[in-house]
Amino acid sequence: MRIETRLVQAGNRQDPQTGAVVTPIHHATTFAHPALGESTGYDYARLANPTRHVLEEAIATLEGGSRGFAFASGMAAIACVANLLEPGQHVVVSHDLYGGTFRLFHQILPRLGVTATFVDTGDLEAVRSAMRPETRALFLETPTNPTMQISDIRACAEIARQYGAWTVVDNTFMTPYGQRPLELGADIVVHSATKYLGGHNDVLAGLVVVREDALAEQVHFYQNSLGAVLGPQDSWLLLRGMKTLAVRMERHEQNARRVAAWLAEQDMVSRVYYPGLADHPRRAVHEQQATGYGGMVSFELARAEWVAPVLNGVRLITFAESLGGVESLITYPATQTHHEIPKEVRDAVGVNDRLLRLSVGLEHVEDILADLESAFAAARTWG
């Protein structure tokens, strides 16, 4: 069945006793054993919980993987995958990426004896030259947060395979509706499900999907051992949000295309980052591996003095962190989502003090544009 259908049907009639169209929320933390050595499939909720299980099955089929795992946040999901690495091993990581992921690879993993090299993973030569015999994983974001850089997932996975390394893709921005990295040769997909999958700015969650059973067993071992699982209530909220993912992504993109085109015409804007714009340097690579361009647009104001008045001037759009919900949000990466990244590194990838990131929501696009227009007009009076 097509992905729209699988999304809407997620969790329907999973409770054989009642035939409930909506998955029940199982709060039980422990489950009776029918007899010694027998199990209903559920023993203790950290290992498996029926509501979480429905969600994990849903994301596994959506991403085309063998098994899915749900975590208390996107960072918990990524940290679980990072725990598969051993002292002495090395990872190659996209140089523009979510600040928390940078912090994990830059500050936490070295303490466990795992080192990281950050490169433009869109440049295959740079990827090749960063790989070492001890490289165990290639971690990609595509498009990247926030400068929307594109990496060729299939080509990167081929390079990684030559080194016996896993390819891990953070698919938060495109979601399985727009991009399915496992079908392109990646081994592991991670998500901050807090964003588009949840879609309503009301649930913090992370997901991991693996392509092969052998890896699934390892991830399950770490998920259970580390313990940062997603609770039943949040699993249910996430499933509820995911049902409408297809229609939401369609409208996010329609609105984002209009906003990106409008921004590109403004003389107050020196640069717009959106893979759907004709001048995006790796638009063709993105189009080969994804459908649609997503709902995230970043842009650089021509003058740093305009940042504060634009952020103060928006009325409909909320100045806040996060992305992917129905409400439009505007973020200042330099001090918010990407503050963890040293300034020299940020400047090198374009996350400078003039960059703003817009999560284009599902409001009427004319209202979004009018809000930006009036915030820009107010900022212009600042000189």
Ligand X SMILES: *Cc1c(COP(=O)(O)O)cnc(C)c1O
> Binding residues for ligand X, per CB under 6 A?
73-75, 98, 100-101, 141, 145, 170, 172, 192, 194-195, 204, 206
Looking at beta carbons only, is 197 or 365 nearer to ligand X?
A: 197
Is residue 103 annotated as a catalytic residue, yes or no?
no
Looking at beta carbons only, is 79 or 314 nearer to ligand X?
A: 79
Residue 45: CB minimum distance to ligand X, A: 21
Angle, CA of 283, 141 and 351, to the nearest 5°: 80
Residue 138: CB minimum distance to ligand X, A: 16
Starting at the edge strand found earlier in the chain, the sheet holding 269-273 runs 269-273, 296-301, 355-359, 329-331, 318-319
DSSP 102-162: HHIIIIIGGGGT-EEEEE-TTSHHHHHHH--TTEEEEEEESS-TTT-----HHHHHHHHHH
Residue 170: CB minimum distance to ligand X, A: 5
Is residue 243 annotated as a catalytic residue, yes or no?
no
Q: What residues form DSSP beta bridges with 355?
A: 300
Is residue 13 annotated as a catalytic residue, yes or no?
no
Is residue 15 annotated as a catalytic residue, yes or no?
no
Residue 376 is inside which H or E element, if any? helix 365-380
Q: Which of 195, 346, 354, 357 is catalytic?
A: 195
Looking at beta carbons only, is 65 or 198 nearer to ligand X?
A: 198
Residue 5: CB minimum distance to ligand X, A: 27
Closest to 253 (Cα-Cα) out of 296, 200, 207, 298: 296
Q: Which of 120, 170, 187, 234 is catalytic?
A: 170
Determine the Cα–Cα distance for residues 117 and 50; give it in Å rounded to an integer: 39
**CA 73 → CA 80, 100, 151, 203, 212, distances in Å?**
11, 11, 24, 9, 23
What residue type is assigned to position 331 of the chain? Answer: T
Looking at beta carbons only, is 99 or 313 nearer to ligand X?
A: 99
Q: Nearest-CB residue to ligand X?
A: 74
Counting other chains too, the contacts that 182-186 makes at CB distance below 8 Å and 24 or more residues apart are 182/63, 182/64, 182/65, 182/209, 182/211, 183/64, 184/153, 184/154, 184/157, 184/289, 185/153, 185/154, 185/157, 185/158, 185/161, 186/140, 186/153, 186/157, 186/211
Residue 140: CB minimum distance to ligand X, A: 11
Q: Which of 46, 103, 128, 154 is catalytic?
A: 46
Looking at beta carbons only, is 23 or 192 nearer to ligand X?
A: 192
Looking at beta carbons only, is 26 or 195 nearer to ligand X?
A: 195
Could you give the residue numbers annotated as active site? 46, 98, 170, 195
